[in-house]
């Protein structure tokens, strides 16, 4: 009965599209799905509306209400246009930037969005071709625009595309703007969408923004002499078929590096990502070809950016000469350590500096900041929250850098989203600086652990699909919230943070404290006596509940690294057993 009801609802929605103001190509595709014996594709395409959420749109491309297509993208752009016109009604000319990645249909969606904005009287700066996400954020600020959009699904599989919306500071929108835009998008019907553009309001941009962006990135260098002495550092870089293909090597060259080694097969720009299963630098397989190239060329470092070039993955040689992947926490740790150290050495630390990390990112970053007189802000997962902290402190405190465990970092203020272009340049500089000081990047990481204590992190996702899966995830969160563990892996829980209620409980003293955050979030954290931190949250985009485990260890010399690593792995397994994951 339930399946028949769902099918009838889907058939009704599909018929609305057949009867509505949709193009013939769309209607032909709907008829094909409706006439098929197996109605699975039809149901998947229409059983719900693709939601314009707080991060914009993201979904599989195709025909239907639950797919990325010219109509779902069109409704998003029309809704955003309506909100911008209401919000900035006093301006003589509202303007936006449009950027896009390498994905199939990204250019099409970008051009359709440009037409819709311009049809609504909004000036459009449309990039001539694919560009990194951070460059679009830069352009919004550089050109003084009120908003911008980027067509990208980041590191999702090739079937996906997405639509991110940005505000006038170049950051992804947060409340109230995100919620207000969602309201406008949800009200928009197909007949409301103004598809007929005004070419006079569309300006193509490219090289002039590239140049300004790279000139800004060059100002970030803290060790130009180290770069000069090590300008022939062997850097293997792969864009994994994406938008970093020309701009990141160009940024590295203009930064002073002369020996950038490409991975030719992955320099092919393609939304099909032909050489990888997943174009995600978090996935070890995505760096396989680059590491092979590094072995052939005896390189110093491997760097990879995801398709929209906002996240950076790296690999380095360990003390045995083996290539190993550096995780997102370690990458963030290296950046923060270097930036704070060099700022201090150059006399740039005056007492009002700050760094930002997300609540699930390693606590060693806070230790480094605290011990060096730099304030460390914790924020929710997602770079829009790091940008929000930057906005709140603008003109009051000095931003040094911020990052998250999921491979995103931002070492500048002229962009307000994670930036693999500047991060690649800065990571190459750190490698040169370490070499100038007689160290490899791996040894630099070991030395950070020696100075601030060893730590290791592991993320675990438990997948539970469908309606029953969603109910199970909700029940797991409920159990963890109302029956918290008293000990984890043999260590007593001493502190609990609940970001849904914004309460922190000290188990030792019994004291309750309010957590100061800009919003609530369904995240729980447990801190134990031995320094272990556990974070638990349901995924907002996938049928998963995520566990972030961080354990601490001890190192007295570089030679202790392997033993500390083995002990940490054992402790992580004990934590997993305690949590039942």
User: Which residues are identified as catalytic?
Assistant: 154
Beta bridge partners of 546: 461, 537
β 533-538/544-553 pair status? antiparallel
Distance CA 398, CA 375 (A): 10
Q: Which residue has 């652990």 as its token pair?
A: 449
- DSSP letter string over 139-176? HHHHTT-SEEEEE--TTS-TTEEEEEEE-TTSSB--TT
Q: Which residue has 């790296």 as its token pair?
A: 314
Residue 170: C-alpha distances to residues 326, 388, 393 (Å): 29, 11, 16
Instruction: Please say whether the dihedral angle defined by the alpha carbons of residues 80, 81, 87 and 91, taken in this order, is positive or negative.
Output: positive
Distance CA 312, CA 295 (A): 20
Distance CA 423, CA 425 (A): 5
What is the 8-class DSSP label of residue 61? Answer: B
Residues 6 or more apart whose Cβ sits within 8 Å of residue 315:
287, 290, 291, 294, 301, 302, 323, 324, 325, 326
Long-range pairs for 181-185 at CB < 8 Å and ≥24 separation? 181/52, 181/79, 181/80, 181/83, 182/52, 182/53, 182/54, 182/79, 184/79, 184/80, 184/82, 184/83, 185/52, 185/75, 185/76, 185/78, 185/79, 185/80
Among 282, 206, 211, CA closest to 240: 282
Distance CA 159, CA 301 (A): 31
């Amino acid at each position: 009965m339930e399946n028949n009801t769902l099918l009838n609802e889907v058939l009704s929605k599909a018929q609305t599209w057949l009867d509505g103001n949709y193009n013939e190509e769309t209607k032909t595709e709907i008829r094909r799905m409706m006439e098929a014996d197996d109605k699975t594709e039809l149901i998947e395409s229409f059983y719900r509306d693709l939601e314009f959420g707080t991060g914009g749109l993201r979904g599989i491309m195709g025909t239907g209400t639950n797919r990325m297509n010219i109509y779902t993208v069109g409704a998003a752009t029309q809704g955003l246009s309506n909100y911008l016109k209401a919000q900035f009604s006093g301006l003589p000319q509202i303007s936006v930037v449009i950027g896009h990645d390498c994905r199939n249909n990204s250019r099409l969606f970008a051009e359709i969005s440009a037409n819709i904005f311009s049809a609504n009287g909004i000036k459009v700066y449309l990039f001539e071709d694919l560009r990194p996400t951070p460059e679009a954020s830069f352009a919004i600020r550089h050109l003084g625009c009120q908003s911008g959009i980027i067509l990208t699904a980041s590191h999702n599989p090739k079937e996906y595309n997405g639509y991110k919306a940005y505000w006038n500071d170049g950051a992804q929108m947060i409340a109230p703007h995100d919620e207000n835009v969602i309201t406008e998008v949800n009200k928009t019907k197909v007949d409301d969408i103004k598809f007929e553009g005004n070419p006079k309001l569309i300006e193509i941009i490219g090289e002039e923004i590239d140049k300004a962006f790279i000139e800004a990135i060059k100002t970030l260098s803290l060790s130009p002499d180290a770069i000069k002495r090590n300008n022939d550092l062997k850097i293997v870089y792969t864009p994994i078929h994406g938008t970093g293909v020309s701009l990141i090597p160009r940024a590295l060259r203009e930064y002073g590096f002369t020996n950038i080694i490409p991975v030719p097969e992955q320099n092919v720009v393609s939304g099909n990502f032909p050489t990888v299963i997943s174009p995600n630098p978090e996935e070890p397989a995505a760096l396989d070809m680059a590491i092979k190239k590094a072995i052939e060329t005896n390189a110093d470092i491997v760097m990879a950016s995801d398709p929209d070039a906002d996240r950076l993955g790296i690999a380095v040689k360990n003390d045995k000469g083996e290539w190993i992947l550096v995780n997102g926490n370690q990458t963030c740790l290296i950046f923060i350590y270097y930036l704070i150290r060099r700022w201090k050495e150059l006399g740039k630390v005056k007492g009002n500096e700050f760094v930002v990390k997300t609540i699930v990112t390693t606590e060693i970053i806070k230790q480094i900041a605290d011990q060096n007189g730099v304030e460390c802000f914790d924020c929710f997962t997602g770079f829009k929250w790091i940008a929000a902290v930057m906005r709140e402190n603008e003109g009051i405190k000095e931003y040094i850098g911020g990052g998250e465990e999921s491979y995103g970092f931002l070492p500048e203020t002229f962009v307000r989203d994670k930036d693999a272009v500047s991060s690649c340049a800065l990571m190459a500089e750190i490698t040169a600086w370490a070499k100038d000081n007689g160290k490899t990047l791996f040894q630099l990481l070991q030395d950070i652990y020696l100075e601030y204590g060893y730590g290791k992190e592991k993320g675990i996702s438990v997948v539970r699909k469908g309606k029953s899966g969603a109910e199970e995830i909700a029940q797991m969160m409920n159990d963890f919230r109302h029956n918290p563990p008293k000990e984890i892996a043999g260590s007593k829980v001493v502190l609990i943070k609940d970001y849904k209620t914004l309460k922190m409980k000290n188990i030792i003293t019994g004291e309750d404290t309010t957590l100061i955050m800009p919003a609530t979030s369904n995240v729980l954290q447990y801190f134990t006596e031995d320094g272990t931190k556990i974070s638990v949250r349901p995924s907002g985009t996938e049928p998963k509940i995520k566990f972030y485990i961080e354990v601490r260890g001890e190192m007295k010399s570089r030679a202790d690294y392997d033993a500390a690593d083995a002990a940490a792995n054992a402790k992580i397994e004990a934590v997993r057993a305690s949590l039942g994951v």
